[in-house]
Structure 1
Amino acid sequence: MFDWENIRYFLAIARIGTLSGAARSLKVDHATVSRRLSALESEIAARLVERQSRSCKLTPIGERVFEVAQQMEEGAYAVERLLEASRSPLSGKVALSAPPVLVANFLVKHVADFRRANPGVQLSVTCEARQVSLSRREADVLVRLARPEEPTSVVRKLGRVSFGLYASKDYPHLHNPSAWEFIAYDAGFVGVAQQEWLMSVAGKRPIACEIGEINGHLVAARAGAGIAGLPDFLAEADPQLQRVAYEGEPFSRDIWMAVHQDLRSAPQIRAVMDFLVKIVAENPAFAENG
């Protein structure tokens, strides 16, 4: 019988397409991934992956093993979810994944309150803008600014984040919109709603800089680098920033929460979900008419 851990490494290689990318996703070094793959191929006496200079390509038998291995993985995670859901009330670790802007500027302010109310639950919060899989237990609870689409998830809308244009109160072109320069996202954000909104407002006016994380936009705007499109709850709290008017429709993004359907009734998961509903509902900045 082959080692399940080796299968797990093979799945990462098959999904990502490179040994180095698989190593990053698994948080191990390149040599470990290579060794695990070689061990699996030795165990089943078949070549699963063609190792090319910059990528990995599955062999025909590798493609078939990949299909079966994904089913095995889903079965393993289903067992984990079953055990998680049957745990004693309000105990265990819950992994919460949320966008960096909400983690750093909102969620962490409430962690102490959650701990006091639920001393048996360890909340593990990860800052992530990328999509993660609830089925693969990459998180137990998701908070996102785009509706999660995983078919096995249960999704609920929590509220709304409104955005506006902001600049330093000392920005030299504060009252001259024709001279504005904008702080935008990098190429990795092509197609993301707030980037498209900002670029539509900017029009033909220049981009001063590109920054891949919204807290960086805040700091750059405060330093006078240009006009930034920022969540109102974040920018309004900064005394160095000034909101500026622009031509165009108001922009906002909905806040969504998702959990795997097998875990939604687990007491510790329920505690985290109820906590998120409560703190968002209590913050007027996230109201539907905000």
Structure 2
Amino acid sequence: MFDWQDLYFFTVLARTQSLSAAARELNVEHATVGRRVDALEKALGLRLVDRLPRSRPLTEEGRALAALAEGMNTLASDVERLSRMAAIDVAGTVKISAPPSIATHCITPHIPRLRALHPRLNIVLLPSTKVAALDKGEADIAIRTVRPEENALVRRKIGKVRFGLYATSSFKNLAEERWTFIAYDQARDHLPQQVWLHQLRGNRSVVFAASDLASQQMAARLDVGAVVLPTILGDQDPSLVRLPVSTEGPTRDVWLAVYPDLRRSPAVKVVMDFLVDCIQAEPRLG
């Protein structure tokens, strides 16, 4: 009988087409991938890959086996989600991934109410701009400002994030041609709020860039420049005022995403309803 772990290593190699790429995905040395595939070949009595100097193309038997094993990753993900659902039901722990501004200013203030209603329910809130991989268990429920594309997910649009341009009140008194700006780094130039910022500033300077919104907001408080913030963040900051601008700020839809099997968990259902209530009760996200 072959080792199922050897088969899993082979499926990753078949998909990535190289030992080094498979090793990176599996977080092992490439020699480990080679040993696993060798062991699988020995157990099956088949040659699955051709050992060329710079590549490991599949043999005809290897391609046939890869096709048979295509559903292995899906099956493994389904088993992991089933395990997580059972653990949630027993332990009462639900992990939520959400953008930092929504996590801090919209969800966290309402946690005492949730605790009062469900004292045995434990919440792990994961504020992050990264899209959490629900299929890998990074979170049980995701709040996202991009539409979830995974077909297996249940997704629901539950609100909108709006953006404005903010600075200190003293900055507001400067002539507009003297305004300076705070932005994300260039890696985030595709974001609608960053595109809008560049349209507003024209030839005026970005004098400070940061990959996180908290650093940008702090710099704005210190009169470094004007910054684009979600209104849920900027309108509640007493150090900042919204600047008058010629065009409306962009909006981004807020989506809730969860796998159907996790959705059937009573704990997850309670938290989903709680999150929808939090966001729909916030006028700046309506």
**Coarse TM-score class (shorter-chain normalised):** 0.7 to 0.9
Give the percent of matched residue pairs that are identical in Structure 1 and Structure 2: 28
| Partner Cα separation in structure 2 for residue 50 and residue 122 of structure 1 | 53
Kindly provide the amino acid, as one letter, of the partner of residue 241 in structure 1.
Answer: L
Residue 180 (str. 1) matches residue 179 (str. 2): yes
Partner of 2:40: 44
Q: Compared with structure 1, are the counterparts of its residues 20 and 8 closer, same or farther at alpha carbon in structure 2 (3 Å cutoff)?
A: closer
* Deviation of the 1:33 alpha carbon: 5.1
Gap change, CA 1:199 and 1:74, over 3 Å in 2: same
Secondary structure at the counterpart of residue 198 of structure 1: helix
Question: Which deviates the most, 103-112 or 43-52?
Answer: 43-52
In structure 2, distance between residues paired with 1:262 and 1:279? 23
1:192-224 per-residue CA deviation (whole Å, 9 max, x = no partner) reads: 221112112222222112211111211111111
* 1:20 Cα deviation from its structure 2 partner: 8.8
| 2:23–2:33 Cα contact (<8 Å) kept | no
Tell which structure's C-alpha radius of gyration is larger. Answer: 2
Look up the match of 2:44. none
1:131 aligns with 2:131: yes
Which residue matches 1:241?
240
2-side partners of 1:49 and 1:99: how far apart? Answer: 46
CA contact (8 A) 1:164 1:230 kept: yes
* CA distance in 2 between partners of 1:208 and 1:43 (Å): 57
Matched residue, 2:45: none
**TM superposition score normalised by structure 2:** 0.79
Instruction: Give, as a single letter, the amino acid of the residue that structure 1 aligns with 2:232.
Output: F
Equivalent in the alignment of 1:114? 114
User: Is the contact between residue 10 and residue 36 of structure 2 (CA under 8 Å) also seen in structure 1?
Assistant: no
C-alpha displacement at 1:11, in angstroms? 4.4
Alignment of 1:51-90 (within 5 A): 59-60=57-58, 71-85=71-85
When the two structures are aligned, how many residues end up with a matched partner?
275
Residues of 2 paired with 1:202 and 1:118: CA distance? 48
- What's the CA shift string for 1:232-286, capped at 9, x where partnerless? 1211222211211011123222211011123222212111101101111222222
Q: Which residue of 2 aligns with 1:147?
A: 147
Deviation per residue, 1:150-204 (Å, 9 max, x gap): 1111111121222110012333x64311221211111221322211121122222
Measured at CA, do residues 20 and 71 of structure 1 come closer, stay the same or move farther in structure 2, by a change above 3 Å? Answer: closer
Higher helix share: 2
Q: Contact 2:17–2:57 (CA<8 Å) still a contact in 1?
A: no
State how far apart, in whole Å, the 2-side matches of 1:76 and 1:147 are.
Answer: 25
Of 220-229 and 259-268, more deviation after overlay is shown by 259-268
* 2:207 and 2:225 in contact (8 A); partners too: yes
List gaps (5 residues or longer) in structure 2.
42-47
In structure 2, relative to structure 1, the CA distance for the partners of 1:11 and 1:127 (3 Å cut) is: farther
Question: Aligned in 2, Cα 1:117/1:38: closer, same or farther, shift over 3 Å?
Answer: farther
Instruction: Tell me the residue number matched to 1:26.
Output: none
Q: 1:271 to 1:66 in 2, by over 3 A?
A: farther
Structure 2 distance, partners of 1:219, 1:275, is 30
> In 2, distance between residues paired with 1:86 and 1:64?
35
Specify the code of the residue in structure 1 equivalent to 2:5: W
For 1:18-59, what per-residue CA distance to the aligned partner results, in whole angstroms no more than 9, with x for missing partners?
589647xxxxxx6x555753552343246699998xxxx764
Contact 2:166 2:227 (C-alpha < 8 Å) held by counterparts: yes
Q: Which runs of 5+ in 1 are unaligned?
A: 24-29
Higher strand share: 1
SS at match of 2:135: coil
- Correspondence list, 1:215-254, <5 A: 215-254=214-253
Q: Does 1:258 align with 2:242?
A: no
